[in-house]
Structure 1
Amino acid sequence: MSAVHYDSYTEARAHLKDLLDAAGQGRVATARRDAEYAAVVDAERLRYALAMLCPSTAEAVAENDGWSVFLPGLPIAADGASFDEAVAKHSSPCASTPTIGRTGYEMRPTTARTGAWSS
């Protein structure tokens, strides 16, 4: 398995398919701009590695006509009509946007019993 590296973003753009193919195959895929390096990583491999390094402390609560999943102490939450839908939204990096409260990234529980968040 050989690494793929490009010394400029212009060169990386010209070889974007090769860069993405290498990342998808689990090979090292990097590009440099000035003194900074960027790595291209397959999203599923990154998700798996992060899940192994930082196990989730997600909590789920049934409320109203659905479910909410959230990470205590972090501004990340997802809601769904079913438990599976809420977990899928919480697990997907693109399926939902973190819920952000009125005061920026701070979220405040409205009730300890349900774990509902105020906005």
Structure 2
Amino acid sequence: VLEKLVSLKERQAQALELAKIFPSMLAAYQLDGDLRAVPIRSNPQIIHYNKQIFEERGITAPKTFEDFLAAAEKASHKRADGASVYGLAIKPEEDIITTVKAMGGNVLTDDHEVKVTEPKTIKAIER
């Protein structure tokens, strides 16, 4: 697809503030180092947590992804009224790839090699 787009070399200095865009995002839109398109949307992952649950369950703020998963497990419980409290909720259609990558796996490399059957990817999905 990139081969069919015109180069943005001449236009990028005058119209775009490309220095504010992460290099890895721009790299996906380059062909042989020539920028052909500009990403207009990103999907940052944000973690929210309930301080009260952390305090009640003796959980400290996680610093690594493994700590994060352990905290999520510890936060999961049944309240006194029988209601379930879930320590982690993700949107599978959006967050699963981020989770897989955070655990060292991948689903597709930059050169389009499929990695869904790699052991780390399977381990992350099973987790």
Same fold (TM over 0.5): no
TM (normalized to structure 2)? 0.24
> Between Structure 1 and Structure 2, which shows a larger proportion of strand residues?
1
> Between Structure 1 and Structure 2, which shows a larger proportion of helix residues?
2
**Higher Cα radius of gyration:** 2
TM (normalized to structure 1)? 0.25
